[in-house]
Structure 1
Amino acid sequence: MLLKVLVLLVLASVVVVVKTQQPTFNDDVLGLIFFKAGLEDPNAKLKSWSEDDNDPCNWVGVKCDPTSYRVTELHLDGLSLSGHVGRGLLRLQFLQVLSLSNNNLTGTINSELSRIGSLQIIDLSGNSLSGSIPDDFFAQCGSLKSVSFARNNLTGQIPDSLSSCSMLVWLNFSSNQISGQLPSSIWYLRSLQSLDISGNLVEGEIPQGMGNLYDLRQINFGNNRFSGRLPGDIGSCSLLKVVDFSENYLSGGFPDSMQRLNSCTVISLRGNSFRGSVPGWIGELTSLESLDLSANNFTGEIPSSLGNLQFLRELNLSMNQFTGALPESMANCFNLLALDVSQNLLTGNVPSWMFKKNEKGEINSVNSFIGSMENPWLASREPSYQGLQVLDLSSNALSGELPSNFGVLSSLVFFNMSRNHLFGSIPASIGELKATEVIDLSDNKLNGSIPSEIGGAVSLKELRLQRNFLSGKIPTQIVHCSSLATLILSQNNLSGSIPPAIANLSNLEYVDLSLNSLTGSLPKELANLSQLVSFNISHNHLNGELPTGGFFNTIPTSSVSGNPSLCGSVVNRSCPAVHPKPIVLNPNSSDSIGGSSQNHHRKKIVLSISALIAIGAAAFIVIGVVAVTVLNIHVRSSMARAPTALTLSGGEEFSCSPTNDPNYGKLVMFSGDADFVAGAHALLNKDCELGRGGFGVVYRTILRDGRSVAIKKLTVASLIKSQEEFEREVKTLGKIRHQNLVALEGYYWTPSLQLLIYEFIPSGSLYKHLHDEHSKSSLSWRQRFHIILGMAKGIAYLHRMNVIHYNLKSTNVLIDSSGEPKVGDFGLARLLPTLDRCILSSKIQSALGYMAPEFACKTVKITEKCDVYGFGVLVLEVITGKRPVEYMEDDVVVLCDMVRGALEDGRVEECVDGRLRNNFPAEEAIPVVKLGLICASQVPSNRPDMEEVVNILELIQCPSDGQEELE
């Protein structure tokens, strides 16, 4: 140990630079020991590194030149090392490879590392390095060929000095927080073959000059903030194999030069704003294996030249505005494994080539295909499509009957034909699907009974047949599907009793048999199903006592409601006593009197318990209301005490200055002009106040370019995250763009004041259109349906972006001048340090009636299903014109309960807003009401996801009315 201390003292006192004299062999040992001293090695991976050893060539991770015995490579990847990259490495003057990836190293990047004389490869990826990349790091990069700082916490800009690295072949700065613009000097790296800066905050237009990189094979600029067009000279990089510009703000169309990229195998332009048609020359890129143009604004027909791409394995054209039919020429795409053309405007018949697959592939098509399943290609047992494993044609307009021999698709693992217009019966050949794990035929017009042959599908884990016209009994043969975990048969016309054999399906988790005509009693053995999460038998004609034990001790009342003859504690209905024979009592016996007295006393006990339960429930509600009110007052008072950086009208002036002085604010606009017409001091003029909500006050102001914006002053300053976290979350929300979402345009930050800048929507909120007595507008049925569908699409898009709204209500839905709904205030809860339910519920207390019941239960996870609940309430509010909770003189009316009661009594049409004067299609209104009630179910698992909601609404919409203009 004494030697180690002396070594460290000597090294610490020496400026480690390249010495004029030839270093001794021990320089490598001393350098490595000094480097090790700055590390934490929890797993003792560097145990072999000893200061007493004169030969480091046998140490873990160390490689030496066999002739000179000098250290040439250091590989310490994935050893759970922490600490910093010490200066001891600078003594390794013959080091060629430095690889420290996938550890927990912290600190900044030492600019002197690149000056190690012979260093060619530096890999510091997958650590926790911070700070900016030193500009002089690349000033003397000499022999550097490969640099990776990927997956760290680096900030700042890409250094201009990169242009000095003429030997650089591979450069990876991905998954950091690098910002600023891309320096044009990066195109001077003539030897560069791979360039990856994806997953950062780089912005602005991509500078011209990319065509200088003649050797470039791979470029990945995905998930940044680039705007403008693709470089026009990209085609000069003729060796490119991978092109990824996904998830940016790029616009325009394909540069013509791209048709020269004959070697390209992967093109991804996903999640931008590209528009126009896809050029026919795309089919000339015959090496393509993956093409992803999803989530853009492409229009026109899908080019038939795609049929020339015989190596194509993945094609994603979803979320665009393509029209026409899928071209028959794509039958030549023999290697196609994954196809997604969902959410377009495609029409026509489903092409036969989709099913003639000779490899295990996936078909995913959610469109408006119109045609019949009766096609000649399924009439024979051709082996060409028997290898198909995944078949998903859900959410289309397919009609016709299921072919009687569709069991020939014997390799299917996933089979989904839901949300179409199929009719007829389910063929018995369903039993031939031995390998199928998921069968979903829900939301069609199928009739007849569930075939007993279903038992032959022995691998089945999920069976969904809900919302059809199926009748008959549940077949007992289903017990042979021993792996079944999900059984959804709701909203059919099934009759008979529930087979006791179902109790043998020990893997069952989700069962929904609601809204049928089932009779008889529930098998007691169902209580033995230990995996049950949900069991819904509501709205049938079941009778007798509910099973006791297991899941059925806590089954929600809503899951058994609508069965008047069921009894048990859950339904608060005692079961009649059952005696084996009459009991004859001696009228002169004193026991008789005692028995009568005992019976009378038992009745009193029952009544007392019922009364206690009612009193306890009422007390719980009162205590809850008082607690929430006190909490709300406390939060409001604490916010009132929070300091602010400027007053509502004049007072302290807010600055748009770019200065770094922390006393000034930081104003960031994601696009467009950052200056305001009236000056910064007038941003929060009280005369321009638009409204107030749980998260802040909203004002209107005008940008220099004449565009109006809405400014939300957040009132959660005492709860807000740090500036770094706040900016990261806001920038994430700023990238969310959808026609049914209010766009976030920018933000302003000081420690005591945070502003969010939104696009301005002039026509007011949905609440105003529905409930404002001074509003002249009276929404027609078509307008209301359009609003409901638009809200659903906006919320569905949020969920695809992994954003939960948390605060859905009619005041947070705005209507633009064309009648398009735009959901606002989404994701603001992400700005709080933690999603504390007390804080959150106090912030959105104004959303009373919209809040899902999970908010009251600390043990239940808050998920997207909370938004689904709020959406369901919104649907009912739009249709009825009533608020979620109406306070009458002597009563409180909860909208969901009122509509649900009307539905059960057959009076649902009476719930539709009277201002429509019966001028609405009942065939649309009633299913939409039912959908709203399903979305507002008390049990989260019973609520559909928002993608399903969109698909259902599009199916409900009457075809003749769907094309009409809004009234």
Structure 2
Amino acid sequence: MVMALLTVFFFLAPILVNSTNPALNDDVLGLIVFKAGLTDPQSKLASWNEDDNTPCNWVGIRCDPYNNRVTELVLNGFSLSGHISKSLLRLQFLQVLSLSRNEFNGTINPILAQLQSLHFLDLSENSLSGLIPDWIFRQCGPLRTISLARNNLFGNIPDSLSSCSTLETVNLSYNQISGSLPSGIWSLTRLKSLDSSYNLLEGDIPSGIHSLYDLQEVNLRNNMIFGQIPEDIGGCFQLKTLDLSQNSLSGTLPEPMKKLSLCTSLSLSGNLFNGEVQNWIGNMRSLESLDLSANNFSGQIPVSIGELLFLKELNLSGNGFTGSLPETLTSCINLLVLDVSMNSLTGSLPQWIFNSGLWAVSLSRNKLTGRMDFPPLTSYAAAYQSLRVLDLSANVLSGEIPSAIGSFRNLLLLNISRNYLSGFIPASIGELKTTKVLDLSGNWINGSIPAEIGGAVSLRELRLETNFLTGRIPIEIGNCSSLTSLILSKNNLTGPVPIAIVNLTDLQIIDLSFNNLSGTLPKKLTNLSHLLVFNISHNHFQGELPVGGFFNTIPLSSISGNPSLCGSILGQSCPSVHPKPFVLNPNSSSNGSSFAPDMHRKRIVLSISALIAIGAAVFIALGVVAVTVLNLCVRNSMPPAAPFAMSREGDLSHSPTTDSNSGKLVMFSGDSGGFVAGNNALLNKGNELGRGGFGVVYQTALQDGRSVAVRKLNISSLMKSQEVFEKEVKQLGKIRHPNVISLEGYYWTPSLQLLINEYICSGSLYEHLHEGESINCLTWKQRFNIIIGTAKGLAHLHQVNIIHYNIKSTNVLLDDSGEPKVGDFGLARLLPTLDRYILSSKIQSALGYMAPEFACPTVKITEKCDVYGFGILILEVVTGKKPVEYMEDDVVVLCDMVRGALEGGRAEECIDGRLNGNFPAEEALPVIKLGLICAAQVPSNRPDMREVIKILEVIQCPSEGE
């Protein structure tokens, strides 16, 4: 009897527990319902099982050990998407909710305000949009930390922020938040960290910051804040980091800042500060990083900086500092990085910079004079080993390059260009085994390039242009296997191009122009698959230009000034080389009878030649007859219909014909009846629309009357199997967007593949920008619409996980209403692998649009490479100039030209002169800046296309009458 009762109790125990502790079921139920509303592509939440009594062992969950209630839900970087369900309200003890680095979109769910126990909320790095909700701060409860960084939020920071008195950390960075900082923001007396960097904030910084005794970090970098730094900032005694860079702040630095004795990082770069930097700066004794670059500071560099004993980085570049570098900087024993470039410093090159253990020194673009002398190696051996970057360019240094330059064994960059250095390049240059960039250009250096240059095996960029170098290019240059840029133009070099150059397979830029080089060009130069620039203009080269690869599209300006060069691209055929004829000596005189054997031999030769000619003629005639007969037989055996087998979109498994060699035409929109003509007429050169990296495009018509553009693919050797090819093409055929060209169908045989696209009648953007007449040039409104329409097309491609790889003006077509349509996308999916070198040579052949990461095998290719190309496209549309233009003695890179004009306050000069000033500056200038941001060298610094669209919508001025 007792045993029976125990058995019953054993089976009923779980039920009794569940019925007496329903809270456990609340947590399980709440999380399971939350999971049901998510998309979990990587099955990260596989351990969440609805049959479990408690979720405490599930991934991402942490519970209170005393009551087993869920207190933390942390799902960072799980690639989750969907919505935040109100089922989380069942988690009554939830204190930490962290969903960062996922793909949640839409607006922020108001149910979060009802999580009464929440202390920590992190929704950063998602795709959330809309306004920052007012309720999130009005009902914040015990909330201490909130991070909404790196989303698509816009609008003002709500005033209710100041009512959430428990807040300690607020991070709203990397959004599109506008307006000014709330006037009551400094009433958050517990605030320790405020980060609203990389937004669109304006107005001034409110006063009252002195009341925040616990404030440790303020980051308002990259906004549009103006005015002055509040005088009362000195009251924030705990402040450790202050970053107000890249704004429009002005005035002088307030003296109360000297009270920030615990501050370790002060960054005020990229503002409009002026006046002198006072000696009180030395009172900020804890500073490790001081950045005052890109302002209007003047006067001498304060000697008190030498009192900053913890200083590691000092950047004073881009100001108007005068005088010499203070000797007191030698007291900064921890200093690693010194940048005082772009000032008006004078005096000689300070010797102490080589005896301070510095890693990077930039003194470029100053007025330093004297010789480039280095301290004796025996005294400063350790200092020579520490230096990684040395930039002394654009000064007035003279004399010879010291042979001690080779002692900097760990140097990565050496730039001493644009000085007045003379003499020879020392042979010790070959001892720079780790140097990646060596720039000696723009000096008075003479002599030859030393053969020892081959010892600098890590070189990626070698610039020796605009000197007085003579002699040959040493064959030892072939040892520099990592070279990507070789620029030797504007010297007096002689001799041929060394054959060893063809082994430098990473080369992208070769500029040998304006020398006295001669000889023929190595044919194997066509093997340099990454080549973007090959300029040999104004030399004495002769013979045939290499054929194939880059050389099929080489600009004529890059080979001009070589009258003895020939080849099809020059329109000048090369003379044929025939063997010299065998001539009998008519004066041969062994004896008088010798003439008869000579005549007999001549008759024999003539007879053989005649026989060969007759035989060849007969053979050719027979061949013509045979081909004619075969053509007649084939023509008679063909049915009268077009030679393409037709299939509907749904039938991808087989062709209607049983002949394996027959073509298979699939139209995604149904039966078009085939083409009007057969493939002979279809691929006629008269129907050609253009050529690209993947093949030639022709115009033709379907039997239902529709015009289509047909691309004949020329990558059969790289093509995937028919099954995989059809699968990829079918996916591309599903893409439908007003700003994307539609794929209508395809045609397949083992030897011929055609893609059938929507036909766009008004030509490419390139034609409208660069080939149209001035009177018909695009208006500003048309250009803006083209930019934003192209952005929307690219954003849609990225949304369906397609990287374009080849965005450029020839791949943006305009329909009859001027609406842009992005074409030539997705073709890389037809290759067996996304090999960046294939892409570089076959797809990304357009110079100027290629993102820098294509040249670096270790950097992942992402949608950001399209953003780079789009940035260049913006500048092309606004300026009307090509990404790279070749002048008579110069190469103008559009991105660099625009950036220089912007920095010099001449941005409006860049706008296409054909507009005659008919453009709104309040739109044009921000668009130019957006183009430069999109074309940033570092991929992470570029926005994504959704962000680009939001920014363009903010920039766009309202139409008249709205």
Task: Give distance in 1, aligned partners of 2:227 and 2:369.
Answer: 41
Once the 2 structures are TM-superposed, how far is the Cα of residue 324 of structure 1 from its aligned partner?
A: 2.1
CA RMSD of aligned residues (A): 4.3
Kindly indicate whether residue 230 of structure 2 is the aligned counterpart of residue 199 of structure 1.
no
Partner of 1:574: 574
SS of equivalent residue, structure 1 residue 161: helix
Once the 2 structures are TM-superposed, how far is the Cα of residue 259 of structure 1 from its aligned partner?
A: 0.2
SS of equivalent residue, structure 1 residue 502: helix
Kindly indicate whether residue 326 of structure 2 is the aligned counterpart of residue 327 of structure 1.
yes
Task: Assess if the C-alpha contact under 8 Å between 1:511 and 1:536 holds in 2.
Answer: yes
Q: Residue type of the partner of 1:366?
A: S
Q: How does 1:228-377 map to 2 (within 5 A)?
A: 228-358=227-357, 361-375=359-373, 377=375
Partner of 1:419: 418
Task: Give distance in 2, aligned partners of 1:842 and 1:406.
Answer: 46
Once the 2 structures are TM-superposed, how far is the Cα of residue 529 of structure 1 from its aligned partner?
A: 4.3
Task: Give distance in 1, aligned partners of 2:320 and 2:86.
Answer: 57
SS of equivalent residue, structure 1 residue 234: helix
Kindly indicate whether residue 134 of structure 2 is the aligned counterpart of residue 135 of structure 1.
yes
Partner of 2:67: 68
Once the 2 structures are TM-superposed, how far is the Cα of residue 405 of structure 1 from its aligned partner?
A: 2.4
Distance 1:597 1:842, change over 3 A: farther
Partner of 1:778: none
Partner of 2:453: 454
Partner of 2:819: none
Once the 2 structures are TM-superposed, how far is the Cα of residue 145 of structure 1 from its aligned partner?
A: 1.5
SS of equivalent residue, structure 1 residue 448: strand
Task: Give distance in 2, aligned partners of 1:204 and 1:100.
Answer: 32
Distance 1:582 1:289, change over 3 A: farther
Partner of 1:125: 124
Task: Give distance in 2, aligned partners of 1:248 and 1:313.
Answer: 24
SS of equivalent residue, structure 1 residue 24: helix
Once the 2 structures are TM-superposed, how far is the Cα of residue 596 of structure 1 from its aligned partner?
A: 12
Partner of 1:157: 156
Kindly indicate whether residue 895 of structure 2 is the aligned counterpart of residue 864 of structure 1.
yes
Distance 1:110 1:503, change over 3 A: closer
Task: Give distance in 1, aligned partners of 2:560 and 2:686.
Answer: 22
Task: Give distance in 2, aligned partners of 1:392 and 1:186.
Answer: 44
Once the 2 structures are TM-superposed, how far is the Cα of residue 108 of structure 1 from its aligned partner?
A: 2.4
Task: Assess if the C-alpha contact under 8 Å between 1:120 and 1:145 holds in 2.
Answer: yes
Once the 2 structures are TM-superposed, how far is the Cα of residue 721 of structure 1 from its aligned partner?
A: 4.2
Task: Give distance in 1, aligned partners of 2:782 and 2:457.
Answer: 57
Distance 1:595 1:617, change over 3 A: farther
Partner of 2:958: none
TM-score (norm 1): 0.60
SS of equivalent residue, structure 2 residue 448: coil
Task: Assess if the C-alpha contact under 8 Å between 1:372 and 1:401 holds in 2.
Answer: no
Partner of 1:220: 219
Task: Assess if the C-alpha contact under 8 Å between 2:354 and 2:374 holds in 1.
Answer: no
Kindly indicate whether residue 112 of structure 2 is the aligned counterpart of residue 113 of structure 1.
yes
Once the 2 structures are TM-superposed, how far is the Cα of residue 493 of structure 1 from its aligned partner?
A: 0.9
Task: Assess if the C-alpha contact under 8 Å between 2:75 and 2:99 holds in 1.
Answer: yes
Q: Residue type of the partner of 1:577?
A: V
CA deviations on 1:894-926 (whole Å, 9 max, x unpaired) are: xxxxxxxxxxxxxxxxxxxxxxxxxxxxxxxxx
TM-score (norm 2): 0.60
SS of equivalent residue, structure 1 residue 558: helix
Q: Residue type of the partner of 2:579?
A: H
Kindly indicate whether residue 88 of structure 2 is the aligned counterpart of residue 89 of structure 1.
yes
Once the 2 structures are TM-superposed, how far is the Cα of residue 559 of structure 1 from its aligned partner?
A: 3.0
Partner of 1:443: 442
Task: Give distance in 2, aligned partners of 1:83 and 1:103.
Answer: 10
Partner of 2:477: 478
Q: How does 1:36-47 map to 2 (within 5 A)?
A: 36-47=35-46
Task: Assess if the C-alpha contact under 8 Å between 2:23 and 2:69 holds in 1.
Answer: no
Task: Assess if the C-alpha contact under 8 Å between 2:543 and 2:574 holds in 1.
Answer: no
Once the 2 structures are TM-superposed, how far is the Cα of residue 716 of structure 1 from its aligned partner?
A: 5.9
Q: Residue type of the partner of 1:93?
A: Q
Q: When the two structures are aligned, how many residues end up with a matched partner?
A: 645
Task: Assess if the C-alpha contact under 8 Å between 1:851 and 1:870 holds in 2.
Answer: no
Q: How does 1:342-741 map to 2 (within 5 A)?
A: 342-358=341-357, 361-375=359-373, 377-378=375-376, 380=378, 382-386=380-384, 387-548=386-547, 551-552=550-551, 554-571=553-570, 572-582=572-582, 714=781, 721=788
Task: Assess if the C-alpha contact under 8 Å between 2:196 and 2:219 holds in 1.
Answer: yes
Task: Give distance in 2, aligned partners of 1:693 and 1:243.
Answer: 52
Once the 2 structures are TM-superposed, how far is the Cα of residue 159 of structure 1 from its aligned partner?
A: 2.6
Once the 2 structures are TM-superposed, how far is the Cα of residue 305 of structure 1 from its aligned partner?
A: 1.4
Task: Assess if the C-alpha contact under 8 Å between 2:279 and 2:304 holds in 1.
Answer: yes
Distance 1:483 1:253, change over 3 A: same
Task: Assess if the C-alpha contact under 8 Å between 1:373 and 1:403 holds in 2.
Answer: no
Task: Give distance in 1, aligned partners of 2:187 and 2:442.
Answer: 58
Q: Residue type of the partner of 2:297?
A: F
Identity of aligned residues (%): 52
Partner of 2:803: none
Once the 2 structures are TM-superposed, how far is the Cα of residue 586 of structure 1 from its aligned partner?
A: 5.3
Task: Assess if the C-alpha contact under 8 Å between 2:171 and 2:194 holds in 1.
Answer: yes
Task: Give distance in 2, aligned partners of 1:834 and 1:374.
Answer: 43
Distance 1:404 1:866, change over 3 A: closer
Task: Assess if the C-alpha contact under 8 Å between 1:226 and 1:249 holds in 2.
Answer: yes
Task: Give distance in 2, aligned partners of 1:107 and 1:205.
Answer: 31
Distance 1:520 1:159, change over 3 A: closer
Once the 2 structures are TM-superposed, how far is the Cα of residue 340 of structure 1 from its aligned partner?
A: 2.4
Task: Assess if the C-alpha contact under 8 Å between 1:295 and 1:320 holds in 2.
Answer: yes
SS of equivalent residue, structure 1 residue 345: coil
CA deviations on 1:310-338 (whole Å, 9 max, x unpaired) are: 22222222222222222222122233222
Task: Assess if the C-alpha contact under 8 Å between 1:586 and 1:592 holds in 2.
Answer: no
Once the 2 structures are TM-superposed, how far is the Cα of residue 447 of structure 1 from its aligned partner?
A: 0.7
CA deviations on 1:239-281 (whole Å, 9 max, x unpaired) are: 1110011122211111111000011111111222111111111
Kindly indicate whether residue 191 of structure 2 is the aligned counterpart of residue 210 of structure 1.
no
Q: How does 1:731-810 map to 2 (within 5 A)?
A: none
Partner of 2:167: 168
SS of equivalent residue, structure 1 residue 384: helix
Partner of 2:28: 29
Task: Give distance in 2, aligned partners of 1:552 and 1:193.
Answer: 60
Task: Give distance in 2, aligned partners of 1:185 and 1:340.
Answer: 38
Task: Give distance in 2, aligned partners of 1:403 and 1:854.
Answer: 38
CA deviations on 1:106-133 (whole Å, 9 max, x unpaired) are: 2322344244232211111111222223
Q: Residue type of the partner of 1:109?
A: I
Task: Give distance in 2, aligned partners of 1:75 and 1:188.
Answer: 30
Q: Residue type of the partner of 2:350?
A: P
SS of equivalent residue, structure 1 residue 137: helix
Task: Give distance in 2, aligned partners of 1:433 and 1:474.
Answer: 19
In structure 1, the gaps of 5 or more residues are 1-20, 599-615, 623-690, 697-712, 726-798, 803-829, 856-860, 885-944, 946-967
Task: Assess if the C-alpha contact under 8 Å between 2:494 and 2:518 holds in 1.
Answer: yes
SS of equivalent residue, structure 1 residue 219: strand
SS of equivalent residue, structure 1 residue 26: helix
Task: Give distance in 2, aligned partners of 1:594 and 1:559.
Answer: 49
Task: Assess if the C-alpha contact under 8 Å between 2:374 and 2:402 holds in 1.
Answer: no
Once the 2 structures are TM-superposed, how far is the Cα of residue 79 of structure 1 from its aligned partner?
A: 0.9
Q: Residue type of the partner of 1:579?
A: P
SS of equivalent residue, structure 2 residue 438: strand
Question: Which structure has the larger Rg?
Answer: 2
Once the 2 structures are TM-superposed, how far is the Cα of residue 414 of structure 1 from its aligned partner?
A: 1.5
Task: Give distance in 2, aligned partners of 1:28 and 1:620.
Answer: 66
Task: Assess if the C-alpha contact under 8 Å between 1:293 and 1:317 holds in 2.
Answer: yes
SS of equivalent residue, structure 1 residue 104: coil
Q: Residue type of the partner of 2:439?
A: D
Task: Give distance in 1, aligned partners of 2:87 and 2:776.
Answer: 57
Task: Give distance in 2, aligned partners of 1:125 and 1:843.
Answer: 34
Task: Assess if the C-alpha contact under 8 Å between 1:198 and 1:220 holds in 2.
Answer: yes
SS of equivalent residue, structure 2 residue 501: helix
Task: Assess if the C-alpha contact under 8 Å between 1:854 and 1:866 holds in 2.
Answer: no
Distance 1:242 1:719, change over 3 A: same
Once the 2 structures are TM-superposed, how far is the Cα of residue 212 of structure 1 from its aligned partner?
A: 0.5
Once the 2 structures are TM-superposed, how far is the Cα of residue 147 of structure 1 from its aligned partner?
A: 1.2
